[in-house]
Amino acid sequence: MSTLAPGGPAAAAIADLWWFMLAGAVAIFAGTMALFLMAFRAQARGPASTRLWIMGLGIAFPTTVLVSLLVYGLLVGERLQASAAPDVVEVEAMGRQWEWGFRQVQGDRRGAETVGVLHIPAGRPVDVLVRSEDVIHSFWVPMLAGKMDAIPGKTNRLRLLASRPGRYAGACAEFCGIGHTGNRFFVVAHDPASWARLAQGTS
Ligand SMILES: [Cu+2]
């Protein structure tokens, strides 16, 4: 359940953003502490330079930091969008109090529901059609992608990709009632052979 141990490109982009923001925060914190310590020694000197303190550190510095964070964040968000891909697999995730039900989607057809376990192929883009039967939930598999709200009456699309076969823990990330903490599930990413067997079995 760690966003810093990404299992695919979407989660890796989010982890990179996290490290970028941490590095920025550490640099600014260090700068602030340095100024704080300098304040004890600065009294002896003359009046401070308006150009440096107001224009430089007051306006130019925060503008540069915030604009670069905004641009980087927007680029990451754009990359996480579900863009058209030839081999994309669609699954449906239905949130309810208090479990998740998953089905394979083929056009208008839906496969049998698996409760608490979402089967996907590894190495292929998967679009999760996130829905809800009752209240607002949030579909979250930290090692594979960001969060996506499950809103009654709406279908939200979340693109994820597991680079390697394996088992990835997921949880509901929006308080949805007394059973919220137990509203967990697993994503099982299959290698091609195992995925083919599974697809045969369910069709
Ligand atoms: Cu919940």
Residues of the chain with pLDDT under 70: 42-46, 201-203
pTM of the entire predicted model: 0.84
Q: How far is the CA of 182 from the centre of ligand 1 (A)?
A: 8
DSSP designation for 84: -
In the chain, the largest separation of any two C-alpha atoms, in whole Å, equals: 82
- The C-alpha angle with vertex 76 and arms to 157 and 190, in degrees rounded to 5, equals 50
pLDDT of residue 43: 67
What one-character-per-residue DSSP string does 149-191 give?
Answer: EE-BT--EEEEE--SSSEEEEEEE-S--STTGGG-EEEEEEEP
In a domain, 3, yes or no: no
Q: Where is the domain boundary, 24, 54, 80?
A: 80
In a domain, 150, yes or no: yes
Residues within 5 A (CB) of ion ligand 1: 137, 172, 176, 180, 183
Q: Are residues 103 and 61 in the same domain?
A: no
Q: Are residues 155 and 96 in the same domain?
A: yes
pLDDT of residue 1: 85
Domain total of the chain: 2
Q: How far is the CA of 32 from the centre of ligand 1 (A)?
A: 39
In a domain, 4, yes or no: no
Q: How far is the CA of 130 from the centre of ligand 1 (A)?
A: 13
In a domain, 187, yes or no: yes
Q: Could you tell me if 162 and 123 are in contact, meaning their C-beta atoms sit under 8 angstroms apart?
A: yes
Question: 64: helix, coil or strand?
Answer: helix
pLDDT of residue 51: 83
Question: 8: helix, coil or strand?
Answer: coil
Cα gap 78→56, rounded to integer Å: 31
Q: How far is the CA of 110 from the centre of ligand 1 (A)?
A: 24
pLDDT of residue 131: 96
In a domain, 134, yes or no: yes
pLDDT of residue 19: 94
Its domain, for residue 18, covers 9-80
Q: Are residues 102 and 158 in the same domain?
A: yes
CATH number where 104 lies: 2.60.40.420
pLDDT of residue 179: 94
Around 143, how many Cα atoms within 13 Å sit in the side-chain half-sphere?
17
Q: Are residues 192 and 114 in the same domain?
A: yes
> In this structure, what token pair is assigned to residue 3?
């966003």
pLDDT of residue 92: 96
Q: Are residues 96 and 180 in the same domain?
A: yes
In a domain, 63, yes or no: yes
Q: Where is the domain boundary, 29, 58, 80?
A: 80
Q: Are residues 125 and 49 in the same domain?
A: no
